[in-house]
């Protein structure tokens, strides 16, 4: 008899324990190297850990859980690898530097709760589709979800590559990228992330895991308003003189023709 989508308390607890162990370990490393921003590099890789822990606690892979694990692994390792290439050796992110100055000697414990602990909790919630996905028979919705995931990671990776090439040219210092995918949305990388997680949810729900919708909903809120595009929009105009004009002709998040 085939396994259907579902998640036991054992899988939920195992995923939570794995995330907690990962985050505490990274927190300790951050204290040694005095760089809390390494948590951003670990974000994608953490979902890879969850995917394979869920399969292990389920007793082995089935077609649907394996599909989700592979898709999650490709996405997570690409994201972590890209952020490592972009950030390592550049010093601590300005956001964490501001926190360090504000909290002084209390920063280690504050960062454990508000940076590493919070990101761990969000990782557990967002990864619910990864934890719930299971089933022996793939159907059309699985492949629709995989197609949405493919569109998302293509959008995300292309946007990152275009931005990296733009920043690598000294002539572009202080300028705003408004070509390629960045012509149609101010945040193609975040939009790609959005598609990735809705695609993974479609694969999970193909086996009946509808309630895991809380995962992509939380990720969407983070990407659009709280920690992704919304947070960046609050400060980028002060660092990019032409950004205000760029916002007048380019969609904020969802792609569309330039105005």
Residue 88 to residues 35, 80, 124, 173, 192, Cα–Cα distance (Å): 10, 11, 25, 20, 23
In angstroms and rounded to an integer, the radius of gyration of the C-alpha atoms of the chain is 19
For the stretch 13-49, what's the b/e string if a residue is b when 16 or more beta carbons lie within 10 angstroms of its beta carbon?
ebbbebbeebbeebbeebeeeebbbbbbbbbbbbbbb
Residue 2: is its pLDDT beyond 80?
no
Residues 79, 44: contact at Cβ < 8 Å? yes
Residues 201, 160: contact at Cβ < 8 Å? no
Residue 4: is its pLDDT beyond 70?
no
The mean pLDDT value of the chain amounts to 93
Residue 7: is its pLDDT beyond 70?
no
Residue 1: is its pLDDT beyond 50?
no
pLDDT tens digits, 42-97 = 999 999 999 999 999 999 999 999 999 999 999 999 999 999 999 998 999 988 99
What is the Cα–Cα distance from 200 to 203, expressed in whole angstroms?
5
User: How high is the pLDDT of residue 250?
Assistant: 94
What is the Cα–Cα distance from 125 to 16, expressed in whole angstroms?
10
More confident residue, 94 or 140: 140
User: How high is the pLDDT of residue 212?
Assistant: 94
Q: Does the reported pTM lie above 0.85?
A: yes
First CA to last CA across the chain, in angstroms? 55
User: How high is the pLDDT of residue 259?
Assistant: 84
């Amino acid at each position: 008899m085939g396994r259907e989508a579902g998640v036991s308390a054992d899988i939920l607890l195992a995923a939570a324990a794995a995330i907690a162990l990962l985050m505490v370990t990274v927190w300790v490393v951050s204290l040694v190297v005095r760089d809390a921003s390494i948590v951003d590099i670990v974000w994608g890789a953490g979902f890879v850990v969850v995917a394979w822990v869920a399969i292990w606690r389920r007793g082995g892979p089935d077609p649907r859980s394996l599909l989700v694990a592979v898709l999650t692994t490709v996405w997570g390792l690409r994201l972590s690898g890209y952020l490592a290439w972009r950030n390592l050796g550049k010093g601590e992110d300005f956001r964490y530097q501001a926190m360090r100055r504000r909290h002084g000697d209390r920063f280690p414990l504050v960062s454990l709760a508000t940076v590493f602990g919070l990101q761990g909790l969000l990782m557990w919630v967002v990864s619910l589709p990864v934890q719930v996905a299971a089933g022996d028979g793939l159907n059309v919705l699985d492949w629709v979800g995989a197609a949405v995931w493919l569109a998302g990671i293509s959008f995300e990776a292309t946007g990152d590559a275009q931005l990296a090439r733009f920043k690598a040219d000294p002539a572009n210092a202080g300028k705003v990228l408004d070509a390629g995918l960045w012509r149609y949305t101010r945040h193609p990388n975040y939009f790609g992330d959005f598609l990735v997680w809705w695609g993974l949810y479609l694969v999970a729900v193909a086996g009946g895991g509808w309630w895991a919708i809380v995962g992509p909903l939380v990720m969407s809120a983070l990407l659009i308003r709280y920690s992704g595009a919304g947070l960046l929009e609050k400060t980028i105009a002060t660092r990019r003189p032409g950004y205000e004009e760029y916002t007048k002709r380019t969609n904020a998040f969802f792609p569309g023709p330039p105005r």
